Amino acid sequence: MPRKRQRSNRPIERETINTIRTFFDKHNIPIMEVPFDVDYGKDIYVELADREGVTGRVIALQAKGGDQTRRTRSTGEIRGVPFTASDSTVFRESNIPVLGMLYERERNELLWVDLTGHCSASYELRGQDEGGFAETTGRLNDYRLPAFINEMLLLTKSSRHEIGLDLASDNLHRQRSAIMDCFGLGLKDARPLLLVRRMLIWFNDPIAAKLAVQALAHFTPHPDIFFHPGNTPKPAVEERVRGEMLWSPRELGFLLRIVEDDEEMWGRGVFGQHIVSLILSDKYNADNLLLIVGDRGIAVDVRRRAFVIALYMASYVKNRDLADRVIVQSGDLHSDEWVSDIIASYNQFGYIDIY
């Protein structure tokens, strides 16, 4: 099966994404732009709303722009969304309908096509997923919005509701897509993210594991996520998800192993900061970090990371007893110059700062 790769032309699609955001914001329709580093065919989630308010149903959008959206036919130029065979698999198997959307500057309208429906029909005809070009079938403007909402409500009514099952799928496309869908739904409902949290250590695929960590990090007091109405969970939902962030030693070991190197682990704005935010969400994680620090059967790099985070937690709450226990537990690591420098810094200043 072809693998989904990150797009290199993301910058040229910003105009479409910004136009989509402006349009739906004007009509008080909640949207959430996908904040993940890994692109997976879904750029925006839209929570469908009508005159009576939000409906609780969601669609996903893939935004496209530039010359790739134009094709010349004998009848003239057409607009549409190009996709690969791997894209087709993602769109066809998505539990939430995926629409392709682009901006037509000349008429100041958004053009769209049902990618899930298009790729499903193609698969039924050919028996396999193939790349192609889906010509837009609808226009979206202020006048057409009510009809668009009604059509999307019918589309979501007939969509599958297998997201929870897909989290356990052996098909990596479906598993990764389901994690993103859980995030899109989880801003208003804690249950999808609770499934992701409870299944985290079973995500053997590195991309799926990192998607899950990034999703859960949005439910922590992360200092370097730019929170706005489109990615901020309801307070009660955030409290519910964060309430389950006491990580067992096994789970902590998993979190500290999925980082590739120290450059990705330490600092602001790197993936490791998501991991640190998950661990700092519950003060009692320090006790389980101590178990990792003292376990000589665990890889040294994992123990070193546990040591630094535990000592930082002790510094933050000014708990000298906890700090002393961390230092004692790490006794066999003191020959490591990096570890010894951190201990010396703590002894001199009474704290360490990982940022």
Q: What is the pLDDT of residues 47-82, one digit of tens each?
A: 888 777 777 789 999 999 888 999 988 788 999 999
Whole-model pTM above 0.85? no
Q: Are strands 98-104 and 109-114 parallel, antiparallel or unpaired?
A: antiparallel
CATH class of the structural domain 10-157: alpha beta
The amino acid present at 344, given as its one-letter code, is A
Distance CA 215, CA 233 (A): 11
Are 48 and 58 spatial neighbours (Cβ–Cβ below 8 Å)? Answer: yes
Q: Tell me what the mean pLDDT of segment 318-329 comes to.
A: 94
- Of residues 281 and 163, more confidently modeled: 281
- DSSP for 164-206 reads HHHTT-S-HHHHHHHHHHHHHHHTT-HHHHHHHHHHGGG--SH
Starting at the earlier edge strand, list the strands of the sheet with 70-73. Answer: 70-73, 76-83, 132-135
Bridge partner list, 58:
47
DSSP 131: -
What pLDDT is stored for residue 234 in this prediction?
86
Burial class (CB in 10 A: 0-12, 13-18, 19+), 28: exposed
All residues at 6 or more sequence positions from 245 whose CB lies less than 8 Å from its CB, including other chains: 197, 216, 220, 278, 281, 282, 285
Q: Tell me what the mean pLDDT of segment 123-145 comes to.
A: 94
Q: If we measure between CA atoms, which residue out of 344, 340, 306, 349 comes closest to residue 326? A: 306
The amino acid present at 304, given as its one-letter code, is R
* Lowest mean pLDDT, pick from 126-130, 154-158, 174-178, 238-242: 154-158
pLDDT 10s digits, 186-215: 888 899 999 999 999 999 999 999 999 999
Percent of the chain surpassing pLDDT 90 = 64
Distance CA 282, CA 241 (A): 12
The yes-or-no verdict on residue 10 having pLDDT over 70 is no
Distance CA 355, CA 352 (A): 9
Looking at 9-65, which runs of residues are DSSP E strands?
Answer: 31-33, 44-50, 53-64
Q: If we measure between CA atoms, which residue out of 46, 16, 50 comes closest to residue 30? A: 46
